[in-house]
Chains A and B, each alone.
Chain A
Amino acid sequence: SQTIHQWPATLVQPVGSPLSLECTVEGTSNPNLYWYRQAAGRGLQLLFYSIGIDQISSEVPQNLSASRPQDRQFILSSKKLLLSDSGFYLCAWSLQLNTEAFFGQGTRLTVV
């Protein structure tokens, strides 16, 4: 069966520090991968999605970037975190069009 792993579960980082969040999927090939962010009390904001290795679409201009070095690995990065980067970050995967997406358990990031 397919599983999605996202880590760490919680993270506290100082302003200006770098960030690397990793997400991996097991049990499937060539998934679509997604990064979302949810600020406190807000809805889910799509940040990036990827339909294949090195094929990444950015939805919102910001100081975050995403990479997909392997088929089932999706990484969210920042060179310098801002206070406004705090939030709940979720990774998700799906297969081709018109199939459901499955979410990881999320990383709660607090920038201090």
Chain B
Amino acid sequence: DAKTTQPPSMDCAEGRAANLPCNHSTISGNEYVYWYRQIHSQGPQYIIHGLKNNETNEMASLIITEDRKSSTLILPHATLRDTAVYYCIVRQGGSEKLVFGKGTKLTVNP
């Protein structure tokens, strides 16, 4: 089973920042945190991943707490097209498995 906990749903106003939290209190030292999103009826899309340091790319920013037990995905200016299910994933025990949890359904409202 996935080792992450996310709120089932969140709402965000268009143009505002969307902050999606994820708890991964049992994360091991060599495990990365990944974020994906799935827009309805499509395959999941990779967003970002990180180990210890905060990461930023053209899609989002990833903030990882110092103890690595939680992280936050930030979409700085949410648009209607960002409405999707967002998955926070921790690679299990350094294996090749990639196990998804239930994710957070983010709805961006006009």
Question: Chain A: residues with CB nearer than 8 A to chain B?
Answer: 32, 34, 36, 43-46, 49, 51, 57, 59, 88, 90, 92, 94, 97-98, 100-106, 108
Selected A-B contacts with CB under 8 Å, 9 pairs: A32-B96, A44-B38, A88-B41, A98-B32, A98-B49, A100-B34, A100-B46, A105-B43, A106-B41
Which of B43, B91, B99 makes the CB contact (< 8 A) with A103? Answer: B43
Interface size of B in residues (CB-CB distance below 8 Å): 23
CA separation between A43 and B98, bound complex, in Å?
A: 13
CA separation between A105 and B40, bound complex, in Å?
A: 11
CA separation between A98 and B56, bound complex, in Å?
A: 17
Contact B43 A97 (CB under 8 A): no
Nearest CB in chain B: distance from A49 CB, A: 6
With a cutoff of 8 Å between Cβ atoms, the chain A residues found around residue B97 in the complex are 46, 49, 57, 59
